[in-house]
Amino acid sequence: MTITSRTIETARLKTAVLERPASGPAARQVLLVHGNVSSSEFFRDLMAQLPSDVHAVAPDLRGYGASEALHQSSLAIDATRGVRDWADDLRALLDALDWPQAHLLGWSLGGGVVMQAALDAPARVNSLTLVAPVSPYGFGGTHGAEGTPNSADFAGSGGGTVNGDFVRAVAAGDRSDTAGSPLDVMRKFYFNAAKFQPTPEQEQAWLTSMLQTKVGDDHYPGDLTPSEHWPQVAPGTRGVANAFSSKYMNLSGFADIQPKPPVLWVRGDADAIVGDASLFDLAQLGALGVVPGWPGAQASPPQPMLGQMRLLLTRYVRNGGKFREVVLPGVGHSPFIEAPEEFRAVFTEHLEGN
């Protein structure tokens, strides 16, 4: 079945999507939500492989891909709302598609977005699939399974924690393979390079997708606030990395939603981005001696991202929900790309059972 691209005018913004209709009546409507510094393009192969009765749509979130140019202040990311700007955009897209309900899949940052969408409108969600999802307490600056902040100002999270050279390379459209370039980062961290090698065509398409990310204080990575606490930066109020700071993003209420869609959590055991020793967490890099001045594990321990998600989903089950965790060996941050057959099998089973 052919995958097409189009732009859909929603009540909130013009959203670019990839779409693969069902062949015949659609038994299931599926929305696929990408992560940070990526776009719907990363889902192209998965969409082509889904069962024929699935109508799949993968949007480019605001600030990414080919969605409406977001240099207008009204379309900036208001980080003080956490990930709600994107979650509200998803519900507006569901309205424009005339989908009363859908199955939602969220990868990385997209995992937090679909959880927020379910928190705000649980009746619209038939099932949730979380693929290498961000912690329910955001990224960086917390400790313990309850997401306790390391400092009162949430230092160690937000726009100031993102590598500035990488941001400048994205803004410049850098297509080189030099150390720290977007292509180099994708090769080293989006996948487990020891086990997976994309084709040159895939790699270039995904790189193009990454370079479409809108850069600036209003978008990626966002602004920052100086801090007296290590690493001397705390969240600002605008942009992507601030939106998924635990100062503003807290999904702990997910355990209490009604009704409770069944949840599938799929991750790789070689994920270097989301894990209990993430190489993108400044506290972990401090512990490794990469970032100077680390004050030690008592003051700034690495964030236990997996433990935080597992505790929340365990509470979800105790409150009457269903959740299944699938760990794929040797797989990094992109299970649906690195292990397509295994991923498709568990995802299809999840859809067919709900």
- Domain borders along the chain are 4-352
Q: Give me 52's structure tokens.
A: 């024929």
The CA radius of gyration of the chain, in Å to the nearest whole number, is: 19
pLDDT given for residue 69 in this prediction = 55
The Cα 75–Cα 91 span in angstroms is: 16
92 contacts: CB under 8 Å, gap ≥ 6: 10, 11, 12, 13
Backbone phi, psi, residue 139, to 5°? -125, 115
The Cα 349–Cα 76 span in angstroms is: 38
pLDDT given for residue 183 in this prediction = 98
Q: Give me 6's structure tokens.
A: 């189009």
Its CATH architecture, for the domain 4-352, is 3-Layer(aba) Sandwich (3.40)
Q: What number of helices (H) and strands (E) belong to the chain?
A: 11, 14
213 within 8 A of 167, measured Cβ to Cβ? no
DSSP for residue 321: -
Backbone phi, psi, residue 185, to 5°? -65, -45
Measured between alpha carbons, how far is residue 262 from residues 137, 198, 255, 338, 345 in Å? 21, 32, 12, 24, 17
pLDDT given for residue 119 in this prediction = 98
Burial class (CB in 10 A: 0-12, 13-18, 19+), 344: middle
- pTM score > 0.95 for this model? yes
pLDDT given for residue 71 in this prediction = 46
Give the DSSP letter string of 178-206: STTSHHHHIIIIIS-TTT----HHHHHHH
Q: Identify the bridge partners of residue 238 per DSSP, sorted by sequence position.
A: 78
What does each of the 354 residues of the chain score in pLDDT, given as a tens digit?
799 999 999 999 999 999 999 988 778 999 999 999 999 999 999 999 999 999 999 999 999 999 975 445 557 899 999 999 999 999 999 999 999 999 999 999 999 999 999 999 999 999 999 999 999 999 999 999 999 999 999 999 999 999 999 999 999 999 999 999 999 999 999 999 999 999 999 999 999 999 999 999 999 999 999 999 999 999 999 999 999 999 999 999 999 999 999 999 999 999 999 999 999 999 999 999 999 999 999 999 999 999 999 999 999 999 999 999 999 999 999 999 999 999 999 999 999 988
pLDDT given for residue 30 in this prediction = 98
pLDDT given for residue 74 in this prediction = 59
**Angle formed at CA 174 by CA 168 and CA 176, multiple of 5 degrees:** 130
The Cα 278–Cα 261 span in angstroms is: 29
182 within 8 A of 170, measured Cβ to Cβ? yes
Backbone phi, psi, residue 92, to 5°? -65, -35
